[in-house]
Chain A
Amino acid sequence: MSRQIDYADIQSIPDEKFKLVQTDVKIFDAAPKTRPVGYFEDALRRFVKNKASVAGAIVILIILLFVILAPFITPYKVSDFDQVYAKSRPKIKALERSGFWDGSKKMHYNERYLMYMYAIGMGASDTTGDSKVISFEAGQDNPYRAINKINGETMSGGQNYWNVTVDSYYALGFRYLTITEARFNAIREFEEQSGLQVLYPMVDREGKFGSEAGMKDANYWYRQAPNGAPLSKKGKPMGLEEMQKEGLVPNYLHDDKGELQYFVPRDKTMRDVRVLYYNYYQFMNGKEPVFYFGSDSQGFDIMARMAQGTRLSLLLAVAVSIINLTLGAIIGAVEGYYGGAIDLIIERIIDILSGMPFYVVATLFQLHLVQTGKVSTFVGLLFAFILTGWIGTAYRVRTQFYRFKKEEYILSARTLGASDARLMFKHIFPNAIGTIITSSVLVIPATILSESTLSYLGIVNFQGQAMTSLGTMMQLGQAYLSTDPHILFFPAIIISLLMISFNLFGNGLRDAFNPSLRGADE
């Protein structure tokens, strides 16, 4: 509600009723109360608004965390390997036999081989070697059983096949080893301390219940016909159903007095033994075999190697990024500022360098410096990246210099006596900083991609016991794509994640530092 103001009333206010405020204070423009927003802060503010880029940054952080923490999470070192546990599936011990991340693989077995796999658990259940017959049920409860689950049966070519999920760690079962007497005694000691049984009775391989396959394969501990079919107590070949009913008859080796034999002397010092390899591994390494990301074709731990490979890629990429941007900035600045002959010469050099395919440059460096042993593979590759990598930045900086060097503020600075270097780096260069920061981030995924491609192709060879790269891992894993895809897919996944997250992050930075380029291409 507004009040009616009577104009006449205001006019009639007497003069003495007015009073002057602030007669002794001078009023100036107040300093702004709000905080000033600088170039970088402004960019950061814009960056945070872009959700995709923030997501990219978070993924990068997670990968960095993985790279740093993986060596502490996995019980394996980069150089650890065990040929026997090569191509093991990813496994987390707590999820054992759960069907997810449990080190299992799906297999396709015929009847005889299915019984062979069942026999591993059954054989492991016979801890004393006294049993005359080992029942099928004993194998089903045994913690060392190979078979997790039967998924179904199929008929093909008149034969039954079973789709089976087996634990790739337990499926190895027993192994014959030749060890020294000292180690034999050490195993005995280990068995007593830990309560784990490593040594199992030797098999009468040359007896009448042995077979050709059983000579080398320690999982044939049961009585069998020459064709490999298990024999019942009465000496009758059994199928799966009979075997489940009647169990398997051990074919252990006894000496003349009927004593069970746990080893056969090979010569004066060496003994042939039959070990449950899972427990033998614990004896040798002091830990259970568990590869969180599986193991590769040579038995290296994929997690440890992947962390190492990613670290190598990131380190290379960051080094390349820093060196090339510095180099590119300096060359571009000189080129753009002085122009003329210098510019022309450098442009021709750039023509030649960029005309050579990168794989050729990398090859020549590898052949000349790395294979002759002058520098390490890493440094050789770094040189190759440096030789051609500065070109992009130099081009961008040069453009900026051409644009700004004729501006009036440069002229006035020159008149005031500023040196060339001061003009270049104090007055012109800051104009180019936004583009440089942006490209410094986008150089990283490009370098990672080139590095992994080159090492995948074998042009750059990072293959070694203590060193690998993601590309090398993929190269080695490719042969097992159909049978053991995890060897290839873990490095492929992390490299894809790296590429996606760095590109998102880099694009976000570009938009943040240069809003006018938003959504535009390059």
Chain B
Amino acid sequence: MDKEMAKYVVKRIILALITSFIIMFINFVFIKMLEPELPMMGAQAETEKARRIALGYNKPILVQFGIYIRNIVTRWDWGTSWKIDYLEPVDSLLFSRFKPTILLNVYSTILSVPIGIGLGIVAALHKNKFTDHFISTAVMIFISVPSFVYAFLLQYTVGFRLGWLPIVVYSLHDAGGWTTKAMFISMIMPTLALSFNPIAYYARFTRAELVESLTSDYMLLARTKGLSKGQATVRHALKNAMVPILPTIIATFLSVLTGSIVIERIFAVAGVGSLSIDAIRFRDYDVFVMTSMFYSVFGLTLSILVDLSYGFLDPRIRMGVR
């Protein structure tokens, strides 16, 4: 990594930090501006009230934000949940919900990347023939139909009618662990439901990239110097077409992550998505700020990674040089 590159990375990280700080401020202020809710009854409500006064909930919002930041900086204290999981620190709450979400998304990525790229390659090699038209039409349909429709169809046919797979994902307690066989089997349907869109997306992207490389001049040169069609395709066209795909995988991972909020809800996965929905429903302030920060920071990090990966993969692109 040369000096300019390092400078560029540092600049991006600092900018991202400032951006996330502002986003945190906005989230915090807007959620605190709402009327505080106390739906609990009796003694518990009294305790909660006393706890909130001790935490400074009756002070001006800006002062509260100061306290919030101070706690994070000095004690890594992101606050506690008061409704979803009473008095549980939100960072450990988020962490406990983090595993199923990431697991689902990783499964989906592992499934969709090879299938999608494979289909895209097949379509590009048979350009304008029946195979290509068939794949392209299917891709168009699969890219358009929302993931929750797949989820419903799978639940109804595979889960309910055929009874092959459990209709919802097992709870951690029932399955005995996140990586047990039972858990894996119950995660097949949500993984599939999450994967159809990215598969179609990768196929379309790969086809477009590969078609472009296959018609470029260096392919003609490769054939002229005596390479067979297969050799030229694998060694030159495919290699070049793959360059923009890695950044795309990273970017798609983010969209799958936010898309999985719905899937988590449908399949009753106790993940970050359902946690953030619950945080809104119950106005669990600290959980709300934490979960939305999770998505923001994840997004900002991935966007830096996407930009950097271009630089790593393609020597023609040099970061930070104008």
Contacts and interface: CB of A to CB of B under 8 A. Distances in A.
Interface of A: 52, 348, 351-352, 355-360, 363-364, 367-368, 445, 449, 452-453, 456-459, 474, 478, 481-482, 485, 488-489, 492, 495-496, 499-500, 502-504, 507, 519-521
Contact of A500 (B19, B33, B140): B140
Interface residues of B, number: 47
A368 B30 contact: yes
Given A458-B277, A503-B143, A504-B140, A356 B148 contact: no
Interface in B127-181: 137, 140-141, 143-146, 148-149, 152-153, 155-156, 160, 167
A495 B153 CA distance: 14
A457 B145 contact: no
B266 A459 contact: no
B160 A357 contact: no
B23 A459 contact: no
A356 B292 contact: yes
Given A52-B137, A352-B19, A504-B140, A499 B292 contact: no
Given A355-B296, A481-B152, A504-B140, A458 B281 contact: yes
17 contacts: A351-B19, A352-B19, A357-B296, A357-B299, A360-B27, A363-B280, A367-B31, A367-B280, A452-B146, A453-B146, A453-B261, A456-B148, A456-B265, A482-B156, A482-B160, A519-B208, A520-B208
B93 interface: no
B316 to A, nearest CB: 19
A368 B148 contact: no
A209 B11 CA distance: 87
Contacts of A459: 277, 280
Given A357-B258, A368-B34, A352 B144 contact: no
B262 A456 contact: yes
Contacts of B207: 519
A359 B27 CA distance: 12
A457 B31 contact: no
Interface of B: 15, 19-20, 22-23, 26-27, 30-31, 33-34, 137, 140-141, 143-146, 148-149, 152-153, 155-156, 160, 167, 204-205, 207-209, 211-212, 258, 261-262, 265-266, 276-277, 280-281, 292, 295-296, 299-300
A488 B145 CA distance: 15
Given A355-B20, A355-B23, A360-B292, A500 B141 contact: yes
B61 to A, nearest CB: 14
A499 B146 contact: yes
Contact of A457 (B22, B144, B205, B277): B277
B286 to A, nearest CB: 15
B244 to A, nearest CB: 9
A495 to B, nearest CB: 6
Q: Is the interface of A mostly helix, strand, loop or mixed?
A: helix
Nearest to B274: A457
Contacts of A367: 30-31, 34, 280
Contacts, number: 108
B33 A368 contact: yes
A147 B90 CA distance: 56
B247 to A, nearest CB: 13
A21 to B, nearest CB: 53
Given A52-B137, A356-B23, A503-B140, A481 B265 contact: no
Contacts of B33: 368
Interface pairs A-B: 7 shortest CB-CB: A499-B144, A500-B144, A357-B295, A360-B292, A503-B144, A496-B145, A482-B160
A495 B146 contact: yes
Contacts of B281: 458
A63 to B, nearest CB: 14
Nearest to B157: A485
Given A357-B292, A481-B155, A482-B160, 5 more contacts: A52-B140, A359-B258, A367-B31, A457-B265, A504-B140
Contacts of A359: 258, 261, 276
Nearest to B280: A363
A503 B145 CA distance: 10
Contacts of A482: 156, 160, 167
A359 B34 CA distance: 17
Nearest to A475: B265
Contacts of B212: 520
A485 B208 contact: no
Given A368-B34, A481-B156, A504-B140, A356 B26 contact: yes
B145 to A, nearest CB: 5
Contacts of A458: 277, 281
A365 to B, nearest CB: 9
Contact of A453 (B137, B148, B155, B208): B148
A438 B316 CA distance: 31
A303 B156 CA distance: 22
Contacts of A457: 261-262, 265, 277
Contacts of A478: 152, 266
A208 to B, nearest CB: 44
A106 to B, nearest CB: 12
Contacts of B22: 352
Nearest to A502: B144
Contacts of B26: 352, 356
Contact of B30 (A364, A452, A499): A364
B300 A495 contact: no
B152 A492 contact: yes
Contacts of A500: 140-141, 144-145
A360 B137 CA distance: 35
Contact of A352 (B23, B143, B153): B23
A330 B152 CA distance: 41
Given A453-B262, A482-B160, A356 B296 contact: yes
